[in-house]
Structure 1
Amino acid sequence: MDLLRFITAGSVDDGKSTLIGRLLYDSKSILADQLEAIERASKNRNTGDQSGRSASAAPVDLALLTDGLRSEREQGITIDVAYRYFQTPKRKFIIVDAPGHIQYTRNMVTGASNCQLAIVLIDARQGVVEQTRRHSLIASLLGIPHIVVAVNKMDLVGYSQDVFSNICIQYNELAQKLNTKHVTYIPMSALNGDNVVDKSENMPWYEGQALLDYLETVEVDDDLNVDQARFPVQYVIRPQTTELHDYRGYAGRITSGIFRKGDAITILPSGETSTIDAIEVAETHYDEAISPMSVVLHLADDVDVSRGDLIVRSNSQPVVTQTAEAMLCWMDTKECKVGSKYLLQVGTFRTRCSIREILFQVNVNTYEEIEGVESLKLNDLAKVVLRTAQPISFDPYDRNRTTGSAILIDETSNVTVGAVMLVTEA
């Protein structure tokens, strides 16, 4: 049974947490004690919400299934990224519930980085708003291959086909600007369950799938990168317990591609070469291993390899450079200025770097490129030039999301201040 990771994103009060709660509730993925606790919490909350609908329309307040923080329940908004797990007979799922408020956009970046699909919720009464554009831009920059536009709260517009069609037209304009290829539109009411798990009788004009049916059947295998074999070294193993266990192994997780016994490999950034002598998983040897397996690689030659190095197949090598262009999502309240210095972490490798230049900032409303910018504020998106103290090894993000992603870290506070998508050598 395969696994699908997806994120829900949208503006405040679009119904993200309620949608996830409905998926869990209607697919019977809630334990009895969880349901009892949520029912008690629902009784203690005031009936009614800002949408004008009665909370009694559902047996429980479904948003409470994901909004677990006390501050979230008090304010009625999602603040932190919430993860939920469930499965159906067809597929396993990891749901990432991202905050909708602009203040917490950086949390959406964190949650979306590993996802294969994004559900962008739109309030049928509001249409496409600024956060819709912002989250769609982030999903595009992060290379999420599948987008589901969930037009929620259709019950509040009389299940109007015209309202749904107009929103589809609005969003399609964004999708064309972002070059988003796989977009699916679904009208729904998360509170009432219309087109979430089961097809709705209230919208007979909609001929597509219900959301869960689509999530169970969407093809994601083609999104895997099997060509570029990449293995960031996390740990060097040297047991030396007996003659049979006197070896040097390199432990880590294959982030993309396939490694086979006998493959010619190159260690970066040093450029040393060798061949794979053995592939070990829990003291069992295999002839090949594929992403995302965690393995120990044995090399035929005693070469210098340490944590942070990248092992690749010699016939398919990444970019190795000290100057790179990258898309940057700034995630700190302290401004990012030209010349500022940070730690850059690519995979398991860390090196110091500086912001050499801000090429342009992206206007999240129009997607226009604004040049001449000297600093970036919280949640700003921009293309920058990075200069590193040591060579870094990466693949362009649009070809390999794993090895093309990185983070910027403040050296003094050790706080992650920027999400980086490496584009090309500068």
Structure 2
Amino acid sequence: MSSGAHHGEVVIRPVLGMPEVEAGADLAGLIAAHTMDLRDHDIVVVSSKIVSKAEDRTIAAADGAAVDPLQVAAMRADAIRSETVRVVAERGAMRIVETRHGFVMAAAGVDASNVAAGSVLLLPVDPDGSARALRTALSERLGVTVGVLITDTFGRPWRLGQTDLAIGAAGVRVIDSHRGRHDAHGNELAVTAPAHGDELAGAAELVKGKIAQVPVAIIRGLAALVTEEDGPGVRALVRTAEEDMFRLGTREAGREAVRSRPRDGLTDALPDRLADAPVDVDAVRQAVAVLRVPTGRGASSTRDWGLAEVDDAEVRKPLLDVVGLPTSAAYVAVAYVRTHESAGRTAALLALGGIRERLTLACAVEGVGSVWIPAERFGAALVRSILPADAESVGMLAIGAALP
């Protein structure tokens, strides 16, 4: 049955009166005891906090010790590190990380609220497994076929505030694809995929709340979203890092670019060729923009070094031909020095080395290829017309399509 078939009333009820959950608690028994009318195809939405407490995912300071804020902060930091597989972004003490489950969230979901002072709470080890176990237990106890969602609180990029999202699921269609369907105007849908698991989690949070300590809600009226089988769980909602267009924060993107240097050829052993293919001109412009240094004959008149951009296609083609680069290369600049005095020449060469490094790094970030060709490969005569009269060519930088 398609989730799109629903047109009726949806009712969301809080489950009231549940006691504080302790390690080893029978969650199915507690929910059954406080839910008087659980029916087939209801969806039971459970806050991860009580699941974690029942599964003894609490970390506490030493028994009997006075609560030391510094000790608790250190314990929380250790817990976050233990639950983190990748730092996505950080600013000051705030860390957005990927957890072992694949969730991208603040502090790996480690929480110090609604727990005893001096304690922190970790996410369930396997939230989908926890949802399956709870669904089975409710079915055995009450003889009903329900869906189960386990939820936790997330922030969202580009939005203020937080909302609950699904982190575990059993018997719930957490995502639906509308690809190939048509809207009311006859337009074919290509990418629409409602994230029902997260929609349900957010809706249930409206009656649970953070302060009221109501950890369970029942959603009725969405039988189309409840499945006979447990299903794939929330795994079906998790976007992989490879598919994530925003997988790194600003600082982390810079670190990743530096770490990727051996793979991308940004060492002294730069590749000496480019792919003979069209290249994204905007990406090339972005790469070149990081130079932010005067280029060309007139702009470098007072420097001991410079970059002369080869804008004329008639000049660029023979230069590319001589060094065996494809004419599709979108950017060429000849690096030069203008002094033979030892100290000045050394400083000029070091400056050019830094420029070359910045440009090749920028190319890696933009996904385009870059090569460095020493002057010996093309000779002084070929570039004399584009250099200042007293300049000596050192090498050539070229940008184009990266080799596959």
Same fold (TM over 0.5): no
Question: Counting strand residues as a fraction of each chain, which structure ranks higher?
Answer: 1
TM superposition score normalised by structure 1: 0.23
* Larger radius of gyration between Structure 1 and Structure 2: 2
Question: Counting helix residues as a fraction of each chain, which structure ranks higher?
Answer: 2
